[in-house]
Amino acid sequence: MVDVAREAGRSKSTVSAVIRGEPHITPETRKRVLDAIDKLGYRRNAAARYLARQRSDALGVVVGDFRNPFHAEMAILVEQEAAKRGYTTLLATTGDDEEVQAARIRVLLEHRVAAIIFLAFAGPKRALAQIPKDTAAVFVGFQTALGPSVSVDEATGTSLVITHLVNLGHTRIGYVTITGAAERYTEQPRLHTYQQVLEQTGLTYDERLVLQVSASDANGGPGDAHARLQQYLTRHERPTAIFAASDYTALEIIECADQLGIAIPRDLSLVGFDDIATAGTTRISLTTVAQPFRELAAEGVEAAIARIEGRQAKPRLLTPQLVVRNSTGPPPKPRG
Amino acid sequence: MVDVAREAGRSKSTVSAVIRGEPHITPETRKRVLDAIDKLGYRRNAAARYLARQRSDALGVVVGDFRNPFHAEMAILVEQEAAKRGYTTLLATTGDDEEVQAARIRVLLEHRVAAIIFLAFAGPKRALAQIPKDTAAVFVGFQTALGPSVSVDEATGTSLVITHLVNLGHTRIGYVTITGAAERYTEQPRLHTYQQVLEQTGLTYDERLVLQVSASDANGGPGDAHARLQQYLTRHERPTAIFAASDYTALEIIECADQLGIAIPRDLSLVGFDDIATAGTTRISLTTVAQPFRELAAEGVEAAIARIEGRQAKPRLLTPQLVVRNSTGPPPKPRG
DNA sequence: GTGAAAGCGCTAACAG
DNA sequence: CTGTTAGCGCTTTCAC
Give the residue-averaged pLDDT of B230-237.
94
Contacts (Cβ under 8 Å, ≥6 apart) of B97: B181
Is the CB atom of residue B56 positioned under 7 angstroms from any atom of strand C?
A: no
Evaluate if residue B15 carries a pLDDT over 80: yes
Q: Are A92 and A108 a contacting pair, CB within 8 Å?
A: yes
Give the pLDDT band (50/70/90) at residue B321: very high
- At residue A216, the pLDDT reads 65
Digit-coded pLDDT (tens) for A195-244: 999 999 999 999 999 998 877 655 555 568 889 999 999 999 899 999 99
Give the pLDDT band (50/70/90) at residue A124: confident
Round to whole Å and give the CA distance between A320 and A318.
6
Instruction: Tell me the percentage of chain A whose pLDDT exceeds 90.
Output: 70
Range of weakest confidence among A148-157, B186-195, B259-268: B186-195
Round to whole Å and give the CA distance between A280 and B287.
23
Mean pLDDT, rounded, of chain B: 91
Digit-coded pLDDT (tens) for B97-134: 888 999 999 999 999 999 999 998 887 788 888 899 88
Q: Do A93 and B75 touch (CB under 8 A)?
A: yes
Contacts (Cβ under 8 Å, ≥6 apart) of B299: B140, B150, B316, B318
Evaluate if residue A187 carries a pLDDT over 70: no
Q: Which residues of B touch A93 (CB under 8 A)?
A: 75-76, 79, 91
- In total, the C-beta contacts within 8 angstroms joining chain A to chain B are 117
Q: Do A278 and B277 touch (CB under 8 A)?
A: no
Round to whole Å and give the CA distance between A272 and A288.
4
Distance measured from the CA of protein residue A102 to the C1' of nucleotide D11, in angstroms: 26
- Residue B137 DSSP class: E
Contacts (Cβ under 8 Å, ≥6 apart) of A49: none
Alpha helices by DSSP H, chain A? 2-8, 12-19, 27-40, 46-53, 69-84, 98-110, 125-129, 154-168, 181-200, 223-234, 247-260, 293-308
Q: Do A43 and B95 touch (CB under 8 A)?
A: no
Strand intervals (E) in chain B: 58-63, 88-93, 115-119, 136-140, 149-152, 173-179, 210-214, 241-244, 269-274, 287-290, 316-318, 321-323
Sheet holding B115-119, edge to edge: A316-318, A149-152, A136-140, A115-119, A58-63, A88-93, B88-93, B58-63, B115-119, B136-140, B149-152, B316-318
Give the residue-averaged pLDDT of B277-281.
98
Phi, psi (5° rounding) for residue A10? -130, 180
Beta bridge partners of B243: B175, B271
Within 10 Å of residue B24's Cβ, how many Cβ atoms?
5
Give the residue-averaged pLDDT of A34-38.
91
Q: Which residues of B touch A50 (CB under 8 A)?
A: 47
- At residue A334, the pLDDT reads 74
Mean pLDDT, rounded, of chain A: 91
Digit-coded pLDDT (tens) for B159-181: 999 999 999 999 999 999 987 65
Å from A251 to nearest chain B CA? 9
Strand D nucleotides, any atom under 7 Å to a protein CB: 1-5, 7-13
Give the residue-averaged pLDDT of B174-189.
73
Distance measured from the CA of protein residue B181 to the C1' of nucleotide C11, in angstroms: 39
Integer-rounded Cα radius of gyration of chain A: 25
